[in-house]
Structure 1
Amino acid sequence: MEIRHFRYFLAVARQRNFTRAAEHLGIAPPTLSRQIQDMESELGARLFLRQQRDVKLTEAGVALVIEAEATVRQFECAQRNAQRAGRGDIGHIELGYVASAVFGGVLQKQVQAFSRECPDVSLNVRESPMATLPAMVLDGRFDMGYVRSPMTLPEGLDEIRLNAEGFVLAVSAESWLCRLPDIGPQHLQNETFILPEQITGTLQVAAQGGFSPTLGAQPGGLVAVIALVSLGQGVAVVPESVVGHVGLPGVLYRKISGCEATSWLSLIYRRFEKSAAVVRYIEQVKHS
C-alpha cells in the first residue's frame, strides 16, 4: 500500500459516501472503489460495509482510522520539513568570528537579521583565532567565518567583502607619543609593536614611515593586544572600531596622521556550499 491508499480510505471514512469522497479527492468513483478494494484485498479484511446510500466502517476500518490518520500526518510533516530544509528555513549553522566583527556591530546585525528571517535555523556562534578560522571553515568545523582582511584564503573558499575601516594607534597614556600634537608613521620607528592577528596595518604604517618595525608579542585577540599596551609593553595598530568598545586603564587611542592603511571584515565560506540554510545566510549577507 502507498500513502495515497490511506488518503483514499480516510476520505471515504469521513464522507461515508464513495461519490462524495471521490469528488473531494478529484478522482472518479470507480477508481476510488477499486483502490479501496485493493486495500481490503491486501489487508485480508473488509474496511467498509457498503449500503445503498452510504457506507459504514467495519471493526477493521475503525481500527485502521487512527493509524491511517497518524501515518498521513507523519508523512505530511516529513514532507513539510524536507521542503523547509530545502528552502533553508530549518537547519543548523556553525559560525566563527574574530573579535572585531563584534566591535563594529557587523556580526550582531547580520545574525539578528537572519534569525528574524529564519527563526527555526539554530546558530552556534563562537569566537576563533583568525589564523585557524579559514582551515576550520574548509574542513567543516565551521560553516562560515568572519575574518579581518586582507588575507590569503585557501583554495575552495570565497569571501564577501564587508565594511572597510582605517587604523588607530593604541598607546600607553605614559608614552612620550601622547605629548605630540600629531602622531605620524615616522614617529613610531623606535617603538615596539604589539601585533594583532591582522598585521597588515602594522606593516603598512611602518612602510609609510620608512622603517622596519620592531615586533613584539602577538597575544591573540584584540583585548589581549590592548592589555599588553596598557602594561607598557609597546604600541599597537588596531582597527578604528576598537575605539569606544575596548577601554582599558592607561590606554589612549590616537589617530595616525597620513595613515592610508585600511582593512575590512569578510565573511568567508565554502565555494560549493550544499547546506540550504548556509546558502540562505550567504545570500542574505550579499544583499544586505
Structure 2
Amino acid sequence: MEIRHFRYFLAVARHRNFTRAAEQLDIAPPTLSRQIQDMERALGTRLFIRRQRDVSLTEAGTALLAEAEATVRQFEFAQRNAQRAGRGEIGHIELGYVASAVYSGVLQRQVQAFCAEFADVSLSVRESPMALLPGLVAEGRYDIGYIRSPMTLPDGVEALRLGSEGFVLALPQGSWLLGLKAITCEHLQNETFILPEQISGTLQVAAQGGYAPRLGPQPGGLVAVIALVSLGQGVAVVPESVVGHVSLPGVQYRNIQGSDASSWLSLIYRRFEKAPAVARYIQHVKHNPTL
C-alpha cells in the first residue's frame, strides 16, 4: 500500500459515501472503489460495509482509522519539514564571533532579527579568537563568523563588509597624556602599544604619526588588552564601541585628534555554502547589512 491508499480510505470514512469522497479527491468514483478494494485485498479483510446510499466502517476499518490518520499526519509533517529545511526555514547554525561584534551591537541586532523571522533555526553562538576564526569557518567547525577587518582570509572564505567605526585610545590612569587638551598621533611616538587581535588601528595611527610603533604584548581579547592598560603596561588603540561597554578601574579613553584610522566588522562564510539555513542567514545579512 501507498500513502494515497490511506488518504482514499480516510476520505471514504469521513464522508461515508464513495461519490462524495471521490469528489473531494478529484477522482472518479469507480477508481476510488477499485483503490479501496485493492487495499482490502492487501489487508485480507473488509474495511467498509457497503449499502445502497452509504457505507460504514467494519471493525477492521474502525481499528485502522486512527492509525491511518496518524500515518497521513506524520507523512505530511515530514513532507513540510523537508520542504522547510530546503528553504532554510529550519536547521542549525554554528556561529563564531569576536568580542567587538558584541560591543558594537551588530551581533545582537542581526541574530535577533534573523531569529524573529526564522524561529525554527537554532543557533549555537560562541566567542572565538579572531586569528583562528577564519580557519574554523573554512574547515566547517563554524558555519559563519563575525570578525574585525581587514585581515587575510583562507581560500574559499568570503567576507561581507558591515558597519565601520573609528578607534579610541585606552590610557592608564597615571599617563602623562591625560594632561593634554588633545592627543595626536605624534604624541604616541614613545608609548608602548598593547596589541588587540586586530592590530590595523595601531599601525594606522603610527603611520599617520610618521614612526614605527613600539609593540608590546598581544594578550588576546579586548578585555585582556584593556586589563594590561589598567596595569600600566602601555596604551592601546581599540575600537570606539568599547567605550561604555568595557570599563575597568584605572583606564580612561580618549579620542586621537586628527586620526582617521578605522576598521569594520565583517561576516565571513564559505563561498559555496550548501546548507540552506546557513545560506538563508547570509542572504538575510546581505539584505540588512546596516542592522
TM > 0.5 fold call: yes
Give CA-to-partner distance per residue, 1:19-51, whole Å, 9 cap, x none: 011011111101101111111121222211211
Q: Following the alignment from structure 1 to structure 2, what is the Cα–Cα distance between the partners of residues 62 and 243?
A: 70
Partner of 2:94: 94
**TM-score, with structure 1 as normaliser:** 0.97
Give CA-to-partner distance per residue, 1:158-209, whole Å, 9 cap, x none: 1110010111111112111111222111111211110000000111111112
5-14 vs 184-193, which moves further: 184-193
Confirm whether residue 236 of structure 1 aligns to residue 236 of structure 2: yes
Partner of 2:208: 208
Q: CA deviation at 1:154?
A: 0.7
Q: Following the alignment from structure 1 to structure 2, what is the Cα–Cα distance between the partners of residues 166 and 73?
A: 56
Confirm whether residue 260 of structure 1 aligns to residue 221 of structure 2: no
Q: For residues 137-148 of structure 1, what are the structure 2 equivalents within 5 Å?
A: 137-148=137-148
Q: Following the alignment from structure 2 to structure 1, what is the Cα–Cα distance between the partners of residues 101 and 218?
A: 19
* 1:126 alignment partner, SS class: strand
Give CA-to-partner distance per residue, 1:40-84, whole Å, 9 cap, x none: 121222211211111122222122112111110110111111122
* 1:119 alignment partner, SS class: coil
Give 2:59's aligned amino acid: E
Q: For residues 129-140 of structure 1, what are the structure 2 equivalents within 5 Å?
A: 129-140=129-140
Partner of 1:80: 80
Partner of 1:117: 117
Q: CA deviation at 1:234?
A: 0.3
207-216 vs 13-22, which moves further: 207-216
Q: Following the alignment from structure 1 to structure 2, what is the Cα–Cα distance between the partners of residues 245 and 35?
A: 69
Q: CA deviation at 1:256?
A: 1.2
Give 2:114's aligned amino acid: F
* 1:190 alignment partner, SS class: coil
Q: Following the alignment from structure 1 to structure 2, what is the Cα–Cα distance between the partners of residues 207 and 137?
A: 32
Q: CA deviation at 1:137?
A: 1.0
197-206 vs 180-189, which moves further: 180-189
Q: Following the alignment from structure 2 to structure 1, what is the Cα–Cα distance between the partners of residues 62 and 168?
A: 77
Q: Following the alignment from structure 1 to structure 2, what is the Cα–Cα distance between the partners of residues 64 and 263?
A: 66
Confirm whether residue 64 of structure 1 aligns to residue 64 of structure 2: yes
Q: Following the alignment from structure 2 to structure 1, what is the Cα–Cα distance between the partners of residues 76 and 66?
A: 16
Give 2:106's aligned amino acid: V
Q: Following the alignment from structure 1 to structure 2, what is the Cα–Cα distance between the partners of residues 39 and 180?
A: 92
Q: Following the alignment from structure 1 to structure 2, what is the Cα–Cα distance between the partners of residues 222 and 33?
A: 74
Give 1:223's aligned amino acid: V
Structure 1: gaps (5+ residues): none
Partner of 2:275: 275
Partner of 2:12: 12
Q: Following the alignment from structure 1 to structure 2, what is the Cα–Cα distance between the partners of residues 52 and 185?
A: 98
Q: Following the alignment from structure 2 to structure 1, what is the Cα–Cα distance between the partners of residues 66 and 101?
A: 53
CA RMSD, Structure 1 to Structure 2 (Å):
1.0
Partner of 1:196: 196
* 2:153 alignment partner, SS class: coil
Give CA-to-partner distance per residue, 1:251-286, whole Å, 9 cap, x none: 111111221211000010111111221111111111
Q: CA deviation at 1:215?
A: 1.1
Give CA-to-partner distance per residue, 1:187-241, whole Å, 9 cap, x none: 1121111000000011111111221111111111101100000000000011111
Q: For residues 217-228 of structure 1, what are the structure 2 equivalents within 5 Å?
A: 217-228=217-228
Identity %: 77
Q: CA deviation at 1:151?
A: 0.8
Q: Following the alignment from structure 1 to structure 2, what is the Cα–Cα distance between the partners of residues 271 and 54?
A: 61
Give 2:276's aligned amino acid: A
Structure 2: gaps (5+ residues): none
Partner of 2:286: 286
Partner of 1:155: 155
Give 1:131's aligned amino acid: A
* 1:206 alignment partner, SS class: helix
228-237 vs 52-61, which moves further: 52-61
Confirm whether residue 25 of structure 1 aligns to residue 25 of structure 2: yes
**TM-score, with structure 2 as normaliser:** 0.96
Q: Following the alignment from structure 2 to structure 1, what is the Cα–Cα distance between the partners of residues 28 and 279?
A: 44
